[in-house]
Amino acid sequence: MDAIKDLINYLSYPKWSFTLSLVVFFVLLWSKRLWTRSGGLIMFVVSVLAFCLSLLDPNFRSVVAKPDNVPIVMMVFLVGYFLWLALYKAHRNDELIERGEPTFEKSEVEDKIFTWPDLVFIEFICMILLMIGLVIWSIVLQAPLEEPANPSVAPNPSKAPWYFLGLQEMLVYFDPWMAGVVLPGLIIVGLMAIPYIDTNPKGNGYYTFKERKTEISLFLFGFLVLWCQMIVIGTFLRGPNWNFFGPFEFWDTEKIEPLVNVDLSEIIWIKVLGVGLPSHWFFREIFGIVLLSLYLLVLPVVLSKTRGFKRYYGKMGPSRFYIGVSLFLVMMLLPIKMYFRWALNLKYFIHIQEFFFNV
Partner 1 sequence: MGGPRVVRRGQLRPRERTPNIMLKKIQKSVTQSQVWKSIFRVGIPTDNRKRALAMLGNVVLHLHPIKVKKSGLRMSYTWCMGGTAFFLFLVETITGLLLMFYYRPTVEYAYFDMVDLREAAAFGIMRELHRWGAHLMVIAVWLHMFRVFMTGSYKPPREFNWNVGVVLLVLTLLLSFTGYLLPWDQLAIWAITVGSNMARATPFVGTEGPGSALLQLGGTKLIHVGSDARFALIAGRTIGGGTLIRFYVLHCVGIPFVAAFLIAVHFWRVRKDGGISGPV
Residues 152-171 binding partner 1 (CB under 8 A) are 153-155, 158-164, 167-168
Stretch of 10-18, 26-34, 43-51, 190-198 contacting partner 1, by CB under 8 A: 190-198
Cβ-based nearer residue to partner 1, 200 or 306? 200
Q: Check residue 108 for interaction with partner 1 (CB under 8 A).
A: yes
Residue 114 Cβ vs partner 1, minimum distance, rounded to whole Å: 4
Phi, psi of 133 (to 5 degrees): -60, -45
Residue 244 Cβ vs partner 1, minimum distance, rounded to whole Å: 18
Residues 43-72 that bind partner 1 (CB under 8 A): 68, 71
Distance CA 244, CA 234 (A): 9
Distance CA 137, CA 128 (A): 14
Phi, psi of 263 (to 5 degrees): -85, 160
Residue 345 Cβ vs partner 1, minimum distance, rounded to whole Å: 23
Helices 229-236 and 14-30 cross at an angle (nearest 10°) of 150
Stretch of 34-42, 51-59, 206-214, 324-332 contacting partner 1, by CB under 8 A: 206-214
Gyration radius of the chain's alpha carbons: 24
Stretch of 46-54, 197-205, 269-277, 278-286 contacting partner 1, by CB under 8 A: 197-205
Residue 29 Cβ vs partner 1, minimum distance, rounded to whole Å: 13
The full 3-state SS of 176-241, as one line of letters, equals: HHHHHHHHHHHHHHHHHHHHHHCCCCCCCCCCCCHHHHHHHHHHHHHHHHHHHHHHHHHHHCECHH
Q: Check residue 280 for interaction with partner 1 (CB under 8 A).
A: no
Residue 5 Cβ vs partner 1, minimum distance, rounded to whole Å: 29
Residue 106 Cβ vs partner 1, minimum distance, rounded to whole Å: 4
Residue 211 Cβ vs partner 1, minimum distance, rounded to whole Å: 9
Residue 351 Cβ vs partner 1, minimum distance, rounded to whole Å: 12
Cβ-based nearer residue to partner 1, 3 or 139? 139
Using CB under 8 A, which of 25, 223, 322, 340 touches partner 1? Answer: 223
Cβ-based nearer residue to partner 1, 155 or 318? 155
Phi, psi of 244 (to 5 degrees): -85, 135
Q: Check residue 109 for interaction with partner 1 (CB under 8 A).
A: yes
3-state secondary structure of 304: helix
Distance CA 173, CA 231 (A): 15
Stretch of 17-25, 203-211, 297-305, 323-331 contacting partner 1, by CB under 8 A: 203-211
Distance CA 316, CA 300 (A): 14
Burial 202-213 (b: 16+ CB within 10 A, else e): ebeebbbbebbe
Binding mask 112-151 for partner 1 (x = CB under 8 A): xxxxxxxxx-xx--xx--xx--xx-xxx-xxxxxxxxxxx
Cβ-based nearer residue to partner 1, 123 or 252? 123
Residue pair 235/160 in contact (Cβ under 8 Å)? The answer is no
Q: Check residue 353 for interaction with partner 1 (CB under 8 A).
A: no
Cβ-based nearer residue to partner 1, 74 or 273? 74
3-state secondary structure of 346: strand
Cβ-based nearer residue to partner 1, 254 or 354? 354
Helices 318-344 and 307-316 cross at an angle (nearest 10°) of 140
